[in-house]
């Protein structure tokens, strides 16, 4: 019976959720942040889940209107401040993956502070993908190896990734059936689940149902039964 150790989620549908209710897109992002809390707490309490990785802001999201990008940066700062208690109370270790060098010094400091504050937490590793792209991650990994004079092997690339842990289960909300440059290396043998539910409406009950379906999947990793 399968139990995923590492779950990754593409959190899609915040803007459409807000539009359907006649609200500004920013309201969808705010509601989506509440969903992150619920899913994180559920994963932390689940004995078999060790890693939860969420796609928050991609390298392509800079193409969005500046007013929306600016709001997302402020919302991220607010999230890092407000969720400290959630992480500590649930024994969750926080880490950011992606190229954080482009963020403001203030935002980088808040990321560093939360990582340091939760570094000894053990129930769950919660990774937030920020300014993240799967191709960019692989390129940065290769550059690190070359700069160290190392050999480009699968093992070396994996070791130098932002997130060197394979994905068992990749979920995308919002109805689209693509992985959008997310964890390309780590998701090589991940089981993919797509749901029509928009991220602000996604909840722990639906995640529980997906985990139940995951149990019956025969995972062969290129081999045979």
Q: Of 50, 61, 99, 136, which is the active-site residue?
A: 61
Q: Is 80 exceeded by the pLDDT of residue 182? A: yes
Asked, for residue 219, whether it belongs to a domain, the answer is no
Asked, for residue 48, whether it belongs to a domain, the answer is yes
In SS3 terms, 119-166 reads as CCCCCEEEEEEEEECHHHHHHHHHHHHHHCCCCCCHHHHHHCCCCCCC
What's 187's domain CATH number? 3.40.1180.10
Is 61 annotated in the active site? yes
Is 91 annotated in the active site? no
Asked, for residue 213, whether it belongs to a domain, the answer is no
Q: Is 60 exceeded by the pLDDT of residue 197? A: yes
Q: pLDDT band at residue 217, thresholds of 50, 70 and 90?
A: confident
Q: Is 70 exceeded by the pLDDT of residue 223? A: no
pTM: 0.94
Average pLDDT rounded to a whole number, residues 168-192: 97
pLDDT tens-digit readout, 85-121? 999 999 999 999 999 999 999 999 999 999 999 999 9
Q: How many domains does the chain have?
A: 1
Q: Of 12, 14, 162, 168, which is the active-site residue?
A: 12
Asked, for residue 224, whether it belongs to a domain, the answer is no
């Amino acid at each position: 019976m399968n139990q995923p150790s590492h779950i990754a989620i593409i959190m899609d549908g915040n803007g459409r959720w807000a539009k359907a209710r006649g609200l500004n897109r920013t309201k969808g992002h705010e509601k989506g942040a509440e969903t992150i809390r619920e899913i994180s707490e559920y994963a932390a309490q689940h004995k078999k889940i060790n890693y939860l990785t969420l796609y928050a802001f991609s390298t392509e999201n800079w193409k969005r209107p500046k007013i929306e990008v600016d709001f997302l940066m402020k919302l991220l700062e607010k999230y890092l401040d407000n969720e400290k208690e959630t992480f500590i109370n649930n024994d969750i270790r926080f880490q950011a993956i992606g190229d954080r060098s482009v963020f403001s010094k203030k935002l980088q400091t808040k990321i560093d502070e939360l990582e340091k504050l939760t570094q000894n937490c053990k129930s769950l590793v919660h990774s937030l993908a920020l300014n993240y792209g799967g191709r960019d991650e692989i390129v940065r990994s290769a550059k690190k190896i070359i700069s160290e004079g190392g050999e480009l092997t699968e093992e070396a690339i994996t070791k130098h990734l932002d997130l060197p842990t394979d994905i068992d289960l990749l979920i995308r909300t919002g109805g689209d059936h693509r992985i959008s440059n997310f964890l390309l290396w780590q998701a090589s043998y991940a089981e993919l689940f797509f749901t029509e539910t928009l991220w602000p409406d996604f909840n722990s009950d639906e995640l529980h149902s997906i985990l139940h379906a995951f149990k019956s999947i025969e995972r062969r990793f290129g081999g045979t039964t």
